[in-house]
Amino acid sequence: MKSAIRLASCALTGLVLAAPAVAQQPADTGPANPQGVQPPPGETASETQFSDGPASAHLLGNLGGMRTTLHDMGIDIRANLINEFAGNTSGGLSQGGRNAGEFNFGSDLDLGRMGLDPGGSVHITFTQRYGYSLSQQVIGNLVSVQEIYGTGQNFRLAELSFEQSFYDNHLNIVAGRVITENDFATSPLLWDHASLYCVFQNNGICGTPVGTPVNSGYDAYPQSTWGARVRVSPTDTVFAQTGVYEVNPSYGEAQNGLKFSSSNATGAFIPFEIGWRPGHTITGLPTTDGPLPGDYRIGLYYDTSDVTGPFKNIPGENLPVITGPTYYGRYGGWVTAAQTVWRVPTGKPGGSRSLSLFGAVNVGDPDTALYRVYAEAGAVLKGTFPGRDDDTIGLAVTDTEVNSHRKDLEAALLSAGFAVSGVQNREIAFEANYSAAVYPGISVEPGIQFIVHPGALNEIPNALVFALRTAVKF
């Protein structure tokens, strides 16, 4: 299986390298670890969306014209620092505060502008994470209140991929060391280059609805794997895509941030997704003068890994070791929807104020999924007041339901006299935040989260969390 995954990736790479003569020049634009996250607000992932060109707001500006010079040569550079402090003043297992963050940097190479391969590009990203988790160490809830925490807290290669577009991007292929989250069930882009989901700090929302990464071998940022994806777009706004990705839990371990070997692989993650993106260009960027942008997706996956039931890490003390039967493969799916419902232009070129709504549902394999059903919904107001075009207000709610097989086992253990913390049912989280663009390239986002039944346990008091995220786009 490991060699098959690598072979599929290499075969697709060979296909695109062999056919540059028919490739078209693209438009010049420009966790399963449950703790993954998209690049920060204002940064995006996947294909030409990765780079937002030299004109965007950066703390260091145009570097004396160097950004423009590099862009014209086909080189776009990126660097960001994101820091999140969170503390709970009530509820949870205890009260306290924790800080976590990430520095990421990388580059996107347009091989067409370099005169090498029209329609070709290379993406590379490195990350360095640090800090501690309030959810793990203090509250005891399932879904992290700090989306920036996780995946080893180490230096990591997040992506090294080759992308090729054909026929004005109606056919697009990516292969190499990739992140599943960059393409499947990914965050909508409804204005500029910003990630809608990563307006929020709760990891259930930012960078992808958390159910699928937890329940399968879907890799969330910044954990990458060997894989390939093919997308066909019959029109500018309609697409269908599929791929194959190596499932290798060891890539998420702290010592494996630069691991390239496929040792410890367990299978392949094979997704299929169809989508409709009204008000977008074929590269996935929203238009400013067309229909109100939206993003609608339906996806299914099959993971070939052999897995046991959802019985690991049951909260309690001195519990017996329980593995359950082995299942040969697991499956699931998702439905996501996002739509801008109101938009007015501002005096800023291409700028606008807007209101966008979103929702998502993940469904996992009833035999193996930890989260049988995960759902979220929210709203984001961009351009909060006149003159504050880049500020946002976000409101969202998530609902995480634990698999009934796990509930039944916990109830049986309690009846047998074992020290189980309780019978897990569902965890609900609310978030409200305000993100202020305080200086070119710098945003500050205070927020409040309220966690109902942390850990999906009635026995843990509801937690009130205050958080502060700062993001610097160098």
Residue-wise pLDDT tens digits, 217-240: 999 999 999 999 999 999 999 999
Please write the tens of the pLDDT for every residue from 124-163: 999 999 999 999 999 999 999 999 998 878 999 999 999 9
Count of the separate structural domains present in the chain: 1
Within 8 A by CB and 6+ apart from 161, the residues are 122, 123, 124, 174, 175, 176, 177, 178
Please write the tens of the pLDDT for every residue from 307-333: 998 998 899 888 888 878 899 999 999
- CATH number of the structural domain spanning residue 326: 2.40.160.180
Please write the tens of the pLDDT for every residue from 152-210: 789 999 999 999 999 999 999 999 999 999 999 999 988 876 789 999 999 999 989 99
Please write the tens of the pLDDT for every residue from 409-451: 999 999 999 999 999 999 999 999 999 999 999 999 999 999 9
Average pLDDT over residues 259-280: 97
Please write the tens of the pLDDT for every residue from 371-404: 999 999 999 999 999 889 999 999 999 999 999 9
- Measured CA to CA, the distance from residue 330 to residue 32 in angstroms comes to 13
What is the DSSP-derived secondary structure letter of residue 259?
-
Closest CA to 138 of 198, 99, 93, 73: 93
Cut 0.75: pTM above it = yes
Please write the tens of the pLDDT for every residue from 358-372: 999 999 999 999 999
- Measured CA to CA, the distance from residue 156 to residue 179 in angstroms comes to 12
Residue range of the domain that includes 121:
2-473
Lowest mean pLDDT among 223-232, 288-297, 457-466: 288-297
Radius of gyration of the chain (CA): 22
pLDDT at 42 over 70: no
pLDDT at 260 over 50: yes
pLDDT confidence tier of residue 37, bands split at 50, 70 and 90: very low
- Measured CA to CA, the distance from residue 94 to residue 89 in angstroms comes to 9
- Measured CA to CA, the distance from residue 250 to residue 123 in angstroms comes to 23
Say what the pLDDT of residue 349 is.
Answer: 73
Instruction: Give the residue with greater pLDDT, 212 vs 318.
Output: 212
Closest CA to 170 of 122, 238, 111: 238
Average pLDDT over residues 20-48: 33
pLDDT confidence tier of residue 56, bands split at 50, 70 and 90: low
Contact predicate 427/143, CB 8 Å:
yes
The whole-chain average pLDDT of the chain stands at 88
- Measured CA to CA, the distance from residue 166 to residue 172 in angstroms comes to 6
